[in-house]
Structure 1
Amino acid sequence: MTTVWDRPEPPARPAPLDRERIVAAAVALADEGGLDAVSFRKVAARLGAGPMRLYGYIATKEELLDLMVDEVNAEMLPDGEKGDWRAALRGHAHRTRRAALRHEWLADLLGGRPALGPNALAVREAALAPVAAVTDLDTAMRAVETVGAYAIGAIRREVADLRAERATGLSERDWQRAHGPRLRRMLETGRFPALSRAVYDGTDVDAATSFATGLDWVLDAVAARIGRPPA
């Protein structure tokens, strides 16, 4: 089965059109209105072209989404920084989060089948190679998957919170004030002692701090596994 990257683009025509322009327009539409705002008709309209012309470059919407994801993966490539495997995985997770906050629709596509575009493959190589250099390949693969699973889950939760805030018009603090009385009544029943302590005595941190802290804990667990003798 060939991919969109394996097929040559059609010959140039008088009106300039290519995959790069199509993908840029699709990313812009998704940034403005989410994945529901992306269709061949809307992309073609953004480019001033007929929808059928796009099919000469991209066969399906799934291919278009693959190209969009690969385009954003270019923003996740390491910028020549040096460091050990831990720094590589930490950097990968933070770059993924920053890309998803710039392009919230990306959160909906993270965690599916591995992307096969050149940028996505380069990102995966940059994450895997430093870990594979210090442990066996299977352990390295599980380590990258584990850190990735944490990052994807945390990113999706953060993006969901941002969307809820926009949909309701309530900031997190506004939401807490609005629902605080009911929560207080429930906690006063004594049925939720641990939750009550968390609400009244726990430290409230922002999303970036929560992400970084959880990531360090996951990396600590990976480090312990990597340092463990083979069974």
Structure 2
Amino acid sequence: MTFFLREREGSLIEQMDRPDCELRRLRRSYARFPVINFLLARWGRNYEQRIRPLLAGSTATTLLDIGCGGGDVVRRLARRAARDGFRLAATGADPDPRAHDFATSRKASDGVRYRRALSSELVAEGGRYDVVISNHVLHHLSPAELAAVLSDSERLARHLVLHNDLRRSRIAFLLFMVAFWPLGPGSYIHTDGLASIRRSYTPAELRDIVPPGWQVERNGPWHILLVYRPPGAGSA
């Protein structure tokens, strides 16, 4: 146990990432992600403190979620903005057709749309968004893919980038193993969640590899927030 989780296990492959995984279990996993994200990912706090100050009353603020999966984060943020009287044009992008099909099957607020696309494809189109986010994506990427996504994010964002990911620790692994097993049956939530923690970074590891201009910040006890503000963008 002394050495367990001391190093990142980036070579692990999660079941949901396999092209031949069971579709019914995959869709159940997407359907249960809102519970995980509501309890742990702290997007409500990040909306209040970082995204809401950028919203304008008369014009729509644009937001891109890279690797949106089932799309629950963009739907949640759009609902929060609408309740506050703001217009948030939120786009969830994911290259996986299974994620895209699930996301488009969910009821969403006006202004939410989904793209089956990589961040590099959106850059090639000349896409620009006021805010760029991702949730639990970074640990899935190879070092080259991570560098590419950060570079794409810099080119896509006008004002703010927030990449939220798991923070690797033994206590996080043990608590998730015990507390979230009820969400496991019939889905990949439990097994893949534990694998995700083993694949995730510590703050020190991320600080060693991110480009200049990126900040590694704490996002509660279980998450890391990678923050970038383009030169000249207003702070939130």
TM-score, length-scaled by structure 2 = 0.24
Decide which structure has greater helix share.
1
Decide which structure has greater strand share.
2
